[in-house]
Structure 1
Amino acid sequence: MATPAPSIARILLDNAEEIVAIACLLGIGAVMALQLVLRGVFDNPLGWPEVVSQFLLVWASLLGAVGAAKRSALVQVDVVVRALPVPARRIVEIVGLVAIAVLLVVLGRYGFRLTSRVRTIASPLPITWAWCYAAAPVFVVLMALRLVQTKLFRHSFVFLEELWESPAATVQLPGGTGAAR
């Protein structure tokens, strides 16, 4: 029996970080292309594209890291771990998760403190650098949620790349009809 096609809501929820990270990267490309045209063709560059690109790159990087964690694609030396007996593998996994949790707590604490204290204006923009630094506490919360989903609840994600690779994939549309890709 074939498994039912995932709903659009499930796809969006399972891939929210990646979708926002892709939007950030597309934003960087669009802003920098605009800057190149204005600088090269009209010899009249704008002052804000570089700062906006920095903000977006920070957010895209951290959101991409959450996506990597969700896929268990973080850097690890699994050659050694695979050689261990199953109980030892489990211990190594738990120690790794505890280390990640400690790092997330530290990053969250200092990221929140920095975000709440920064008042420096991003020079060409009417916003503070806190918007850039806010990526750290948001990253911590999202990473913790995704790790709980992955490791504790063993959630089976529907990844975008799986939909792209499957030629017969269908997406459940509102009203119960499926649309073939």
Structure 2
Amino acid sequence: MLRPFLLRFDDLVARVEAVLIGLLVLAMTGVTLAQVVARYGFGDPLIWSEEAARYLFVWVTMIGAALAMQQGGHYALDALGRHLPAPMRSVVRFAALLVTAGFLALLLGTGIVEARQAGMQFSATLPMEMDLPYLAIPVGAALMLLHLAVSLLRPSAP
């Protein structure tokens, strides 16, 4: 009963991520276009546009990594696994899953600490605290952990 709910929830989260990535890329493109028009059209560059585009790019990257996790799109070294007997292949895949989950848990924990510390700083050109850009790290790690956990419930899971 819980499995179908989690699978549907995971798919819903992935759809929200895809829409969010599209909106963030649109915003990043708009900021960059505004910078080009301001600099070359009016001779007065926007001092905040490069920083805003950088933070948008970080968010796109972290949410995109989570979406790639859900879709099985991350690069994997499977050359060794293909030459192992089936039982060993499962052990190697499970070990890789544990290492990935451990890394993401570490990234989540340190990302939360870093975001809290960054909240004491202010952006150089934007009227915001720096915790917002830094929150991309723990949010992305949490989303990847969610997708990784739910992938174990999918029929094609190792």
Q: For residue 150 of structure 1, report the CA deviation from its aligned partner.
A: 1.4
2:66 partner amino acid: V
Aligned sequence identity (%): 29
Structure 2 counterparts to residues 89-168 of structure 1, below 5 A: 89-118=89-118, 119-151=120-152, 153-154=153-154
- Is residue 88 from structure 1 mapped to residue 91 from structure 2 by the alignment? no
Alpha-carbon distance change, 83 to 155 in structure 1, aligned in 2, over 3 angstroms = closer
Q: Distance in 2 between matches of 1:38 and 1:114?
A: 34
Q: Distance in 1 between matches of 2:155 and 2:59?
A: 25
Q: Corresponding residue for 1:17?
A: 17
Tell me which stretches of 4 or more aligned residues in structure 1 moved more than 6 Å. Answer: none
Alpha-carbon distance change, 66 to 10 in structure 1, aligned in 2, over 3 angstroms = closer
Alpha-carbon distance change, 12 to 53 in structure 1, aligned in 2, over 3 angstroms = same
Structure 2 counterparts to residues 58-97 of structure 1, below 5 A: 58-97=58-97
Q: For residue 112 of structure 1, report the CA deviation from its aligned partner.
A: 0.5
Q: After alignment, is 71-80 or 46-55 more displaced?
A: 71-80
Q: Distance in 2 between matches of 1:128 and 1:32?
A: 22
Q: 8 Å contact 1:115–1:133 — kept in the other structure?
A: yes
Q: 8 Å contact 1:59–1:132 — kept in the other structure?
A: yes
Alpha-carbon distance change, 85 to 10 in structure 1, aligned in 2, over 3 angstroms = closer
The normalised TM-score by structure 2 is: 0.85
Q: Distance in 2 between matches of 1:120 and 1:66?
A: 27
Q: For residue 36 of structure 1, report the CA deviation from its aligned partner.
A: 0.2
Gaps of 5+ in 1: 1-8, 157-181
Alpha-carbon distance change, 155 to 47 in structure 1, aligned in 2, over 3 angstroms = farther
Q: CA RMSD in A?
A: 2.0
1:48-96, CA deviations, whole angstroms, 9 ceiling, x for partnerless residues? 1111111110010011111111122212112221222211111111111
> Number of matched residues?
147
